[in-house]
């Protein structure tokens, strides 16, 4: 799902006093779902809030749906949906009341009752916002972001602190939005979330994008994947190596335990199994170990804890 | 599950009058639902009116106590809604990201402020009706020009709204809560609401007379109790407060 960029950020710099939150960030997000990943304090929220028109860039340019979020805010606001990291609702308002209100600010809103039902907010009844559970507050904020039928939705950590059921419900909604042609920019700490939902992932650290691509592309980069199998000990690894592409390695790590490292794709798997067939080897416990997004993330951003 | 196409984008802002009406209705509902706000805007003015009219606590000069008190209580009602109530509510809306979230909605900022003003005016109308009915029941006999009364109430509302928003937009929510209540109490005592300003001596009377609450209560009293014409002096004081406070609020108000 690639077309005109929905978000285009060039050389964005944003400082708060002496602290530089975003430091020359470039980001292009197309249609579909883009996940912005990064450790705490990486500049995710500042970047997203600049796109939403909340912050004025110190330098650089930001275009959202082709518009300047600060100068053309009036034109942009009806076209986007915003979910803040927290709050945004009158403490005395009830969930359906607030959602109905946001719906009234739009020309062609979604059916509020259906959305309430869909996100499991029907049980909130007459409870005021401040007495809702954290998960209910999150889901209300999500509903408020989509009720105006926007072209583009910004979700700032939409599933932080949600239980697994609520997280699935949120993911399902994001998938439905994408299927219906709504673009989504979401920030998250959860690698699984990015892998599950995103067409495109941008990893931010130190106020810059340090890697961007589809989850598959990102996982292919960095360290290589590995294929393991067990067979009888003492197979001719040299002959296996000859059958493999040049950039692969093969070794018997433990007696009968073999490892092939390299670009593991269906072709390589076929090569290994046919070599086994030729040599009368039954490759037991054959497995492909994929490099996860989390591996990539930790490789890129370091494993030490941030303050 | 939902059918395909449910979320197909169809963006657009609602017509401005509809947005403002919806926002004003919600703000009014939030205010009337809030117990502390009702205490300030309804219970305290009503209690003061009934109590001070029926029990001789303060010497209110010659004439019926209710004729002296009702204009002061009307001024207090305006202050409680436009200043204290609005400052506290807006301070917490700012604190809880309501203003921030609304800033990303199709509702323009000026429309939000218009809606807030409309909500304040609706609340004031309800207060004036309630207090007027009670005052009549207590034997109130007003005089004067309704146009002058209306002008005083509107300018008073503008002055107090400016001050309330200035406070809400610059201080922390908790500080606003404390300060708005303190100011309410001080102006209740020293603003000619239930205690005649003459009690503070000539110098005190002169200085206190420049406060917006004194200008409003004195102006209303001149018209409603003494049947005076248009009280230009008090209107001038209120207009000056309104201009300065609204300009300062416009300049210094921080949305987050």
Q: Compute the distance between CA of residue B90 and CA of residue B110 in angstroms, rounded to an integer.
A: 15
- The pLDDT score that the predictor gives to residue B64 is 86
Name every chain B residue with its beta carbon within 8 A of the beta carbon of A181. 7-9
Please provide the DSSP assignment of B244-255 as one string.
Answer: HHHHHHHHH---
| ipTM value | 0.88
Using a 10 angstrom Cβ sphere, with 0-12 exposed, 13-18 middle and 19 or more buried, the burial of residue A24 is middle
Over range A22-40, report the average pLDDT: 94
Q: Work out the pLDDT band at A221, boundaries 50, 70, 90.
A: low
Better-predicted residue by pLDDT, A146 or A287: A146
Domains of chain A, with CATH numbers?
7-214 (3.40.50.300), 223-290 (3.30.70.1560)
Over range B244-254, report the average pLDDT: 93
Q: Compute the distance between CA of residue A65 and CA of residue B11 in angstroms, rounded to an integer.
A: 13
Beta-bridged to residue A284, according to DSSP, are A230
Name every chain B residue with its beta carbon within 8 A of the beta carbon of A77. 13, 104-106
Note whether B3 contacts A: Cβ–Cβ < 8 A: no
Highest mean pLDDT pick, A32-41, A211-220, A243-252: A32-41
Q: Compute the distance between CA of residue B235 and CA of residue B28 in angstroms, rounded to an integer.
A: 27
The SS3 of residue B26 is: helix
Using a 10 angstrom Cβ sphere, with 0-12 exposed, 13-18 middle and 19 or more buried, the burial of residue A29 is buried
**B113: nearest Cα among B250, B212, B256:** B250
- The pLDDT score that the predictor gives to residue A305 is 61
Yes or no: say if A263 and A220 are a contact pair by the CB < 8 Å rule: yes
Paired tokens of B141: 């006999």
Does residue B1 surpass a pLDDT of 60? Answer: no
pLDDT tens for residues A66-107? 999 999 999 999 999 999 999 999 999 999 999 999 999 999
Paired tokens of A90: 């009158």
Q: Please state, rounded to an integer, the average pLDDT across all residues of chain A.
A: 90
- The pLDDT score that the predictor gives to residue A60 is 96
Better-predicted residue by pLDDT, A265 or B120: B120
pLDDT tens for residues B139-186? 999 998 999 999 999 999 999 999 999 999 999 999 999 999 999 999
Determine, for residues B7 and A93 on separate chains, whether the beta-carbon distance falls below 8 Å.
no
Over range A136-163, report the average pLDDT: 95
pLDDT tens for residues B7-16? 999 999 999 9
Yes or no: say if A20 and A13 are a contact pair by the CB < 8 Å rule: yes
Does residue A150 surpass a pLDDT of 70? Answer: yes
Beta-bridged to residue B13, according to DSSP, are A106
What is the count of residue pairs from A and B with beta carbons less than 8 Å apart? Answer: 117
Using a 10 angstrom Cβ sphere, with 0-12 exposed, 13-18 middle and 19 or more buried, the burial of residue A222 is middle
Determine, for residues A88 and B98 on separate chains, whether the beta-carbon distance falls below 8 Å.
yes
Over range A35-39, report the average pLDDT: 91
- The pLDDT score that the predictor gives to residue B63 is 81
Note whether B182 contacts A: Cβ–Cβ < 8 A: no
Determine, for residues B34 and A92 on separate chains, whether the beta-carbon distance falls below 8 Å.
yes
pLDDT tens for residues A271-289? 999 999 999 989 888 888 7
Does residue B18 surpass a pLDDT of 70? Answer: yes
Does residue A219 surpass a pLDDT of 90? Answer: no
Please provide the DSSP assignment of chain A as one string.
Answer: ---S-SEEEEEEEEEETTEEEEEEEEEEE-SSEEEEE--TTSSHHHHHHHHTTSS--SEEEEEETTB-TTTTHHHHGGGEEEE-SS--S-TT-BHHHHHHHHHHTBSSPPPHHHHHHHTT-GGGTT-BGGGS-HHHHHHHHHHHHHTT--SEEEEESTTTT--HHHHHHHHHHHHHHHHTT-EEEEEES-HHHHHHH-SEEEEEETTEEEEEE-HHHHHHSSSPEEEEEE-STT--HHHHHHHS-TT-EEEEEETTEEEEEE---HHHHHHHHHHHHHTT---EEEEEEPPPHHHHHHHHH-SSPP-
Q: Work out the pLDDT band at A1, boundaries 50, 70, 90.
A: very low
Determine, for residues B7 and A176 on separate chains, whether the beta-carbon distance falls below 8 Å.
yes
Does residue A31 surpass a pLDDT of 50? Answer: yes
Note whether B5 contacts A: Cβ–Cβ < 8 A: yes
- The pLDDT score that the predictor gives to residue A2 is 47
- The pLDDT score that the predictor gives to residue A74 is 94
- The pLDDT score that the predictor gives to residue B39 is 94
Q: Compute the distance between CA of residue A198 and CA of residue A178 in angstroms, rounded to an integer.
A: 10
Determine, for residues B2 and A114 on separate chains, whether the beta-carbon distance falls below 8 Å.
yes
pLDDT tens for residues B32-90? 999 999 999 999 999 999 999 988 777 777 788 999 999 999 999 999 999 999 999 99
Residue B21: partners with Cβ closer than 8 Å, 6 or more residues away:
B115
Does residue A45 surpass a pLDDT of 90? Answer: yes
Q: Work out the pLDDT band at A303, boundaries 50, 70, 90.
A: low
Among chain B residues, CA nearest to A82: B104
Q: Compute the distance between CA of residue A102 and CA of residue A105 in angstroms, rounded to an integer.
A: 5
**B164: nearest Cα among B73, B41, B1:** B41
Paired tokens of B220: 């209303």
pLDDT tens for residues A99-123? 999 999 999 999 999 999 999 998 8
- The pLDDT score that the predictor gives to residue A108 is 97
What is the percent of chain A where pLDDT is above 90? 63
Over range A154-178, report the average pLDDT: 93
Does residue B4 surpass a pLDDT of 90? Answer: no
């Amino acid at each position: 799902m690639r077309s005109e960029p929905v978000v285009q950020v060039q050389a964005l710099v944003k400082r708060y006093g002496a602290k530089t939150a975003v430091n020359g960030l470039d980001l292009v997000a197309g249609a579909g779902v883009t996940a912005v990943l990064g450790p705490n304090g990486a500049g995710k929220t500042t970047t997203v809030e600049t796109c939403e028109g909340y912050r004025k860039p110190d330098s650089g340019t930001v275009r959202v749906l082709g518009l300047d979020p600060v100068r053309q805010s009036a034109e942009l606001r009806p076209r986007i949906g915003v979910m803040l990291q927290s709050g945004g609702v009158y403490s005395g308002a009830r969930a359906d009341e607030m959602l109905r209100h946001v719906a009234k600010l739009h020309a062609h809103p979604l059916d509020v009752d259906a959305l309430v039902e869909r996100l499991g907010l029907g049980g909130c009844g007459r409870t005021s916002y401040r007495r809702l559970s954290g998960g209910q507050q999150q889901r209300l904020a999500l509903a408020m972001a989509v009720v105006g039928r926007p072209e583009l939705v910004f979700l700032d950590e939409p599933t932080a602190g949600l239980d697994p059921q609520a997280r699935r419900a949120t993911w399902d909604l994001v998938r439905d939005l994408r299927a219906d042609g709504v673009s989504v920019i979401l920030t998250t700490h959860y690698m699984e979330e990015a892998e599950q939902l995103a067409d495109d992932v941008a990893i931010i650290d130190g106020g810059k994008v340090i890697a961007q691509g589809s989850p598959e592309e990102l996982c292919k980069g960095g360290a290589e994947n590995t294929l393991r199998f067990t067979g009888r000990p003492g197979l001719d690894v040299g002959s296996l190596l000859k059958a493999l592409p040049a950039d692969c390695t093969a070794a018997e790590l433990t007696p009968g335990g073999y490892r092939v490292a390299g670009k593991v794709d269906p072709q390589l798997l076929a090569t290994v199994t046919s070599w086994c067939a030729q040599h009368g080897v039954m490759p037991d416990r054959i497995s492909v170990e994929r490099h996860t997004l989390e591996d990539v993330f930790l490789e890129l951003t370091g494993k030490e804890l941030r303050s | 599950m939902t059918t395909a196409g449910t979320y197909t984008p169809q963006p657009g802002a609602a017509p401005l009058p509809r947005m403002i009406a919806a926002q004003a209705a919600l703000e009014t509902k939030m205010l009337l639902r809030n117990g502390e706000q009702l205490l300030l805007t309804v219970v305290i003015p009503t209690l003061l009116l009934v109590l001070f009219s029926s029990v001789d606590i303060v010497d209110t000069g010659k004439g019926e106590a209710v004729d002296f008190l009702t204009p002061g209580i009307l001024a207090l009602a305006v202050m409680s809604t436009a200043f204290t109530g609005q400052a506290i509510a807006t301070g917490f809306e700012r604190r809880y990201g309501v203003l921030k979230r609304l800033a990303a909605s199709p509702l323009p900022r000026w429309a939000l402020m218009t809606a807030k003003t409309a909500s304040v005016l609706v609340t004031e109308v309800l207060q004036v009706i309630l207090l007027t009915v009670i005052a009549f029941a207590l034997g109130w006999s007003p005089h004067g020009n309704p146009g002058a009364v209306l002008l005083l109430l509107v300018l008073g509302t503008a002055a107090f709204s400016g001050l309330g928003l200035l406070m809400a937009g610059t201080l922390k929510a908790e500080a606003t809560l404390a300060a708005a209540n303190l100011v309410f109490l001080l102006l209740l005592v020293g603003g000619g609401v239930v205690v005649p300003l003459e009690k503070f001596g000539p110098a005190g009377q002169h200085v206190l007379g420049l406060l917006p609450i004194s200008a409003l209560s004195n102006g209303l009293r001149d018209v409603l109790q003494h049947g005076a014409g248009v009280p230009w002096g008090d209107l001038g004081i209120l207009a000056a407060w309104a201009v300065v406070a609204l300009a300062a609020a416009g300049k210094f108000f921080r949305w987050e």
